[in-house]
Structure 1
Amino acid sequence: MNRIGAYWPWLVRLVVLLLFLALVFKPYWFETLFAPLAPKGAAVIYPQDSLASLTGQHLELVLVSLVVSALLGVSAGIGVTRPSGLEFLPLARAIANIGQTFPPVAVLALAVSAVGFGAYPTLIALALYGLLPIFENTVAGVKQVPYAVLDAADGMGMSASQRLWGVELPLALPLILEGIKVATVINIGTATIGSTVAAKCLGEVIIAGLLVNNMAYVLQGGLIVGLMAVLIYDLLGLMQSFLVQRLGLSAQVA
């Protein structure tokens, strides 16, 4: 029984992955299930573009924006925990909070006026939206490093940069990774609004369904986005656990 219990989570992961791949690459397998949600005589499976292509472009938006958010969030989080940067913590926190308090649609509208339609305004909105959890978790992770450990590092003659890279960041890694996980899931869902400014993503399927009152389209797009978020969050969690165990760190997260 214990061995069966150990394999059960992996079986669930496999089922979810296969369902996701089938929806993306073989959506016509599910035509009978979606048919009752489509208006009479209308196409059941979204016909304007390949769901696989839209999924790839959706993931690309999320990945690029996440890299930007991680670079900015981790760098700013490290900067405001240095003695020379402590006074900038309230300002940095206020800027990071803008991404969560300012509606993404409003950010898109402002970005469109600056960079035009397409992927760029969407990337700007997503990068801002994913900034806060990464920034806050970086600050919390660096601050929770025990003073005794820092004192021991100083006693060993480590420079400030050696202490940062060799002690503080490795110990803060679980919390930083948790922030990245949260930002990833947020951006997977939020990226759907990119279709309102002509960015190619799964939001195109959902919005098309709403415009023509075809709930089959809405369900197709929503299911793929939801399954994508579950799979990627779980994958990042596995990566986080592996790194934590490999480095011998505490798995404590915020």
Structure 2
Amino acid sequence: MRFVPLLLRLLLFAVLVGFLVSPDTFEWLLRPLVDGGTPAIYNQGSLLSLTLQHLEIVFAATLAAAILAILLAILVTRSFGAEFLPLSRSLVNIGQTFPPVAVLALAVPAVGFGAKPTLIALFLYGLLPIFENTLTALQNLPRSVTEAARGSGMTAMQRLLKVELPLSLPVIIAGIRLSVTINLATATIGSTVAAKTLGEVIIAGLQSNNLAFVLQGGLVVGALAVLIYDALSALEAMLSRRLGLR
């Protein structure tokens, strides 16, 4: 029975790829949602291209957020950087304090329309889960392991790179997974400032009262979120098993 979820995910992936490559094949499913002369499949651009651009923005923002969040967590867990913990928490909480729409509104006058304000919003929004997970992992490492590494003569940098970060990696991946999942949905609002995302499909549907457009845009984002979440969960579980944490 444990193979059933995997088969369902593979089926979802196959359907998603099939829809993005050849959306007209699925027109019969969406046709009942629109009037006779209204297009049932998004026809103002390539769904595949929009999906790839959507993913590109999300992954670029998440990568930048992960680098900063992990570095900050490492800094505040060192003796020389512990005093910066309150400041670091305030910094990573900015994205949660200001809604993404507000960040977009503030960023557009500074960087213009397009992908840049969306990247800024997603970057700020993705910091908190990665920072908190990395911080928690580094602060809760088994004392016996860290003491053994210190006793073996490892330098502080060697302990960080060879012991602390590898042991913390599953929890860090969990934070990245949450950040990516949040940003996949949040990125749709980037289309309000001319970023190329799947939000274009949803907005076009809302403007023309076309439920089929809204549904296909939302379902593609949802399918991506489920598949990426599950892939990162599998990676986290694999790393945990290899490290003997499960």
Tell me the matched-pair count: 246
1:80 paired to 2:76: yes
- The residue number in structure 1 matching 2:42 is 46
Q: Using the TM superposition, name which of 236-245 and 153-162 deviates more.
A: 236-245
1:123 paired to 2:123: no
- Select the residue among 181, 195, 202 that pairs with 1:199: 195
Which structure 2 residues correspond to residues 127-206 of structure 1 after superposition, within 5 A?
127-206=123-202
- Taking the aligned partners of 1:166 and 1:53, their CA distance within structure 2 comes to 40
- Taking the aligned partners of 2:27 and 2:33, their CA distance within structure 1 comes to 10
Shift of 1:60: 0.5
| 1:82-105 residue CA offsets vs partner (Å, 9 max, x unmatched) | 111111111111111111121001
Q: Unmatched 5+ residue regions in structure 2?
A: none
Contact 2:171–2:236, Cα closer than 8 Å, also in 1: no
- Taking the aligned partners of 2:2 and 2:185, their CA distance within structure 1 comes to 31
1:250 paired to 2:235: no
Shift of 1:38: 2.1
1:239 paired to 2:235: yes
Contact 2:137–2:168, Cα closer than 8 Å, also in 1: yes
Shift of 1:59: 0.7
1:31 paired to 2:27: yes
Contact 1:39–1:213, Cα closer than 8 Å, also in 2: no
1:57 paired to 2:14: no
Shift of 1:40: 4.3
Q: Unmatched 5+ residue regions in structure 1?
A: none
Shift of 1:166: 1.2
- The residue number in structure 1 matching 2:13 is 17
Contact 1:74–1:134, Cα closer than 8 Å, also in 2: yes
TM-score scaled by length of structure 1: 0.93
- Taking the aligned partners of 1:22 and 1:101, their CA distance within structure 2 comes to 39
TM-score scaled by length of structure 2: 0.96
RMSD: 1.2
Shift of 1:245: 2.7
Shift of 1:13: 1.4
Shift of 1:76: 0.7
| 1:15-73 residue CA offsets vs partner (Å, 9 max, x unmatched) | 11112112211211221221222244211111110101100100101111111011011
1:226 paired to 2:222: yes
Segments of 4+ moved more than 3 angstroms: none
| 1:177-213 residue CA offsets vs partner (Å, 9 max, x unmatched) | 1000000101111110110010001000001111111
- Taking the aligned partners of 1:181 and 1:249, their CA distance within structure 2 comes to 21
- Taking the aligned partners of 2:97 and 2:90, their CA distance within structure 1 comes to 10
Q: Using the TM superposition, name which of 219-228 and 160-169 deviates more.
A: 160-169
- Taking the aligned partners of 1:25 and 1:174, their CA distance within structure 2 comes to 34
1:99 paired to 2:95: yes
| 1:74-129 residue CA offsets vs partner (Å, 9 max, x unmatched) | 11111111111111111111111111121001101111111111111111100111
Identity of aligned residues (%): 57
User: Structure 2: which amino acid aligns with 1:99?
Assistant: G
